[in-house]
Amino acid sequence: MEKSIRLDSYLWAIRMYKSRSLASDAIKSNKVKLNDELVKAAHIVKIGERYTMSFPQGVKKIIEVTGIIEKRQSYEIAKENYIDHSPPVEKLERMPSVFLMPNMQRDRGAGRPTKKDRRDMDDFRKD
């Protein structure tokens, strides 16, 4: 007899999401698709199906079901139950933060900055 498991439980068991409720929420918000079609959390997973998942920062995962597990187990066991067809993740270049200013270095033991030191630091930051 073949095992039957819900999609949200399966995605949790193969460690795609940290909890079943997060998997269910992702499915409800149309971030998980079966062959580019919307699917419900109660969908029964079958071997050979291909799911596309969208994660933050534009990361997409495409998995093909090769086995069905009902309980969350180690990563090695979970990885044996799906094939990852995802494209390689491209590293995003980070922009320098607008909110963080360069750190000003002061000599050890120099004490707190004086009013003149503060004005000099402000002038330096404006440039």
* Cα 89 to chain centroid, rounded: 11
pLDDT tens for 46-100 read 999 999 999 887 789 999 999 999 899 999 999 999 999 988 877 666 666 656 6
- Name the pTM for this structure: 0.68
What does the alpha-carbon distance between residue 45 and residue 78 come to, in Å, rounded to a whole number? Answer: 15
**pLDDT attached to residue 81:** 92
Bridge-partner residues for 60, per DSSP?
A: 54
Question: Are 41 and 27 spatial neighbours (Cβ–Cβ below 8 Å)?
Answer: yes
Q: Can you list the domains of the chain with their CATH numbers? A: 7-84 (3.10.290.10)
Query: pLDDT band at residue 10, thresholds of 50, 70 and 90?
Result: very high
**pLDDT attached to residue 115:** 92
